[in-house]
Amino acid sequence: MSKLQRIVAIIVALYLLLVLLDRFVLVELLVGRIGVSVLLAFFEAFAIAGIGFAVRGVFARRWNAAEADLPRDLLLGYPIFGALCFLVGMLNVSSWSMGILLVVCGVGGIYVVVRRFETRPPAVPRIPEALVLIALAGVFLCALIAAQAPPSSLDELAYHLAVPWTWVTEHRVIDLPLISHSYFPLGIESADLPLLAILGQAGGGIASHFLHLGAAIAATAMLMRLARGNNLAVAAIVTTPALAIIAGWSLVDWPLLGICALLVLSLDDGDAVTISMAVAAGLLTKYTFVPFAILVFGAWGVGRWRSHRTDAPAEPDSHAPLPIHYSLIIASSLGSIFFIRNLILTTNPIAPFLSAAAPHVAAYRAPFLSDYVFDGHFLDESLGASLIAACSLSAGMLSWVLVIVAVLLFLLGPSSRILLPFLAIPVARSRRPTRLMRVLLGLAIVVQLFLIGYFVDRGGAFSLLGGTSSDKEYLTKQRTSFTTAQSIDALLPVDARVLVIGLNETFWFEHRVRGGGNFDGPRVSRYLELPTAEALYARLKNDGITHVAVVPPATATTAVPQKLAERDTALTTGAQRVLAQTLDRYASNVSTSGGLIVFTLK
C-alpha cells in the first residue's frame, strides 16, 4: 500500500466516523453532558504528569523530557499535585486560585509530553493474549460507563469528595473535626479541588471519576511491567471485583496500588529517584502505604544483606541523582505534609487512629474467607477467586512476606481494600501458571467479568448513556441522601452554615455544611455532649453554625450490622438531651420538610 493510499484511507475513515458520531444522537447527548468534565480531567492529567516529571527532576538533578514516563509520572505526580492544591487552598480555594495553579502546571505538563514524543516516539505496545485483552477491555469499559455517572457511592459522598467540596464552599482548607476521615492523607482527594471549584459538584465529580480512571489505567501499566510478561497475573488482579468496580470512582485504591508497584519496581531496578518519589507519593495517599513500605524495605534490605552485595564507589558527578539517604529524607518530609497537619491540629500525627472516637478498621467484617471471596452484601469489596488463587504462585521472600501479612490482617476482619496491595503485588510477581492453573484462572476471570458487568448494570449508569435519565433523576433513584440534601438546601438562606444531624453524606449540599462521616456517630456525640445548653450554643456560634438540621432515620436498605454502623450517626442519650435543650432555648425559627426539621439559631 502506497503512502498516498494510506493517507486517503485514514481521511475517509475519519470522515465516516465523524458523520456517524454526528448523526448518533446519544453520543451528542453524552458529549453535551460530560464533554467539559472529560476535557478538564485530561488537562489536569497533563498538569499532574508535569508535576511528577518536575519533582522527579529535582531528585535526579536533571530535567530531560526524553526520560518522561507518562504512567509513572501520572501516578507519582497525582498526590504531589494534590498536596500543592492543598497548600494553596490553605490560603484560598476558588475557581481563580485553583484555575491559575491548574493552567500553569497543565501548560508545563503539555510541554513535557510534546517534547517527550518529539525526542522519543512512542513504541507500539505488545498486544497481550486474547483473554487478557478481553478482560482488561471489559473492566475499563465498565469503568468508563460508571465514570460518566455523577458520584453516588457512600465513601465518595461521605468523605472522598465531601471533604474537598466543603473546602470549596468555605473558600479555603479548614479543619473538619466531625469527619474522622478528613485526617487521613488527602493528596489524591485534594487534587479534586480545581475540578470542583471550576465545575461544581456534578461536573467536578464526573471529571474526578475520569481522572481516577486514568490513574487506574496507569496503575495497570505498572502492574504489567512488574509482571514482566505474565499478563494473566495482571488480568487476575484487574478483574478483582473490589478493584474493577471502583475503577471509575473517586477512591484512592488504584493510585495507591500503582504507587506500590512503582516502589517495588524501582527497588528491583535500583532506581533511587523513583524509590524516593514513590515514598513521598505513598505517604500522601493513604496510611496503608506505611506498613507496606516498611515490609518492602525490610525484605529488600534483608535480601541485599544475604546476597552480600558491595557497590563500587561512584565517580563524582555534579549531575548524578541525590544520594539515596538524602533523597529519602527529602521525600519523607514531602510526604509528611498531612502527618504534620494532624500533629498541629490534634497532637496526633496519625489521627484519627489512637484517639477517642476513632473509626472502625478492625472487625469491619467477619474473618471468613468465603465472605471475602464473594458476599452479595459487599459486592464492591469482593476479592473474587483469581487474586487469592494466584497468590499461591507467589515467588520470592518479599511476596511471601506480603501474603503472610495479608493473612494476619485478614484475621482482624478489615475492609478488603486494605488487603489489596498486600495481595496484588505478590500476584504481579508470581510464577507463570501451569496449563491447568491457567484454565482455572481464566474461568475465574470470566465469572468475575460477569459480576462486574452485573454491578454496573444494577447501578443504573446505562440509563444515563441511553438518555432515559437525567443526572438528577439518577441521583434521586440511587441515593436518598441527595433528595434530603436538596430539601434542606431549599429551607436555608444563602449565607447559612448548617450542622446536619442524622446524615453522613454531605457532598450534595449547596450550602456550607458540617456533619459526621462514616462511623462518626460517637464523634458527633462528643461534639454535642457538653455540660450545659449554654456551652453548646456558644460552641455552635463560635464555629459559625447558623442552622441545625435534624434528619430522621432513613429506612434501612440492608440488615448487615457493619453497614448500618457505618451509615448510622445516632447520638448518645447525653448528646440528644443537650441538643434538645439548646434548640428549645436558642432556636428562633423552625422549618420542616418531609420529616426533617431545620432550626434557625438566634
CA distance 552 to 501: 9
The verdict on 47 and 171 lying in the same domain is yes
Check: CB of residue 506 under 8 Å from CB of residue 518. no
What secondary structure letter does DSSP report for 602?
Answer: -
Statement: residue 60 has pLDDT above 60: yes
Distance from the Cα of residue 108 to its chain's centroid:
24
Residue 317, domain member (yes or no): no
Q: Residue 316: what pLDDT?
A: 43
Query: How far is 343 from 133, CA to CA, in rounded Å?
Result: 46
426 touches 261 (CB < 8 A): no
With respect to residue 8, please indicate whether it lies within any of the assigned structural domains: yes
Examine the domain organization and report whether 350 and 494 are in the same domain.
no
Question: Could you give the number of structural domains in the chain?
Answer: 2
| Domain stop point among 391, 426, 458 | 458
Q: Has residue 467 been placed in a domain? A: no
Pairwise CA distance, residues 29 & 37, whole Å: 14
Q: Are residues 577 and 451 in the same domain?
A: no
**Whether residue 450 is found in the same domain as residue 540:** no
Q: Indicate whether 444 and 523 sit together in one domain.
A: no
Note the pLDDT tens digit of each residue in 226-280: 999 899 999 999 999 999 999 999 999 999 999 999 999 999 988 989 999 999 9
Whether 516 contacts 178, CB under 8 Å: yes
| Single-letter amino acid code for the residue at 31 | V
| Per-residue model confidence (pLDDT) at position 593 | 82
184 falls within a domain:
yes
Residue 138 — pLDDT band, cuts 50, 70, 90? very high
Render pLDDT for 461-513 as a digit per residue (tens, 0 to 9): 988 988 888 999 999 999 889 999 999 999 999 999 999 999 999 999 999 99
Q: Same domain, yes or no, for 500 and 548?
A: yes
Which of 101-105, 372-376, 471-475 bottoms out in mean pLDDT, i.e. has the lowest? Answer: 372-376
Q: What is the mean pLDDT of residues 76-80?
A: 97
Picking from 458, 491, 509, the residue at the C-terminal end of a domain is: 458
Range of the domain at 332: 3-121+130-304+322-356+434-458
In this structure, are 332 and 279 located in the same domain? Answer: yes
pLDDT over 90 (residue 104): yes
**6-15, 324-333, 412-421, 466-475: range with lowest mean pLDDT:** 6-15
Considering the domain boundaries, does residue 314 fall inside one?
no
Examine the domain organization and report whether 489 and 584 are in the same domain: yes
**Better-predicted residue by pLDDT, 339 or 468:** 339
DSSP string, 85-96: HHHHHTT--SHH
pLDDT at 181 over 60: yes
Q: Is residue 382 part of a domain?
A: no
Are 212 and 252 within 8 A, CB to CB? no
| Same domain assignment for residues 575 and 508 | yes
Quick one: average pLDDT of 590-595? 84
Question: Can you give the pLDDT at residue 31?
Answer: 84
Question: What are the pLDDT digits (tens) for 24-50?
Answer: 667 777 888 999 999 999 999 999 999
Averaged pLDDT of the chain: 89
- Cα 359 from Cα 509, distance rounded (Å): 23
**Same domain flag for 447 and 497:** no
Note the pLDDT of residue 8.
Answer: 78
Asked whether the whole model's pTM tops 0.75, one would answer yes
Q: Within a domain: residue 378?
A: no
> Are residues 447 and 491 both part of a single domain?
no
352 shares a domain with 252: yes
Domain annotation covers residue 211: yes
- Cα 197 to Cα 204: distance, rounded to the nearest angstrom: 8
Rounded to an integer, what distance in angstroms lies between the CA atom of residue 144 and that of residue 248? 6
Among 392, 424, 458, the domain boundary falls at 458
Beta carbons of 448 and 240 less than 8 angstroms apart: yes
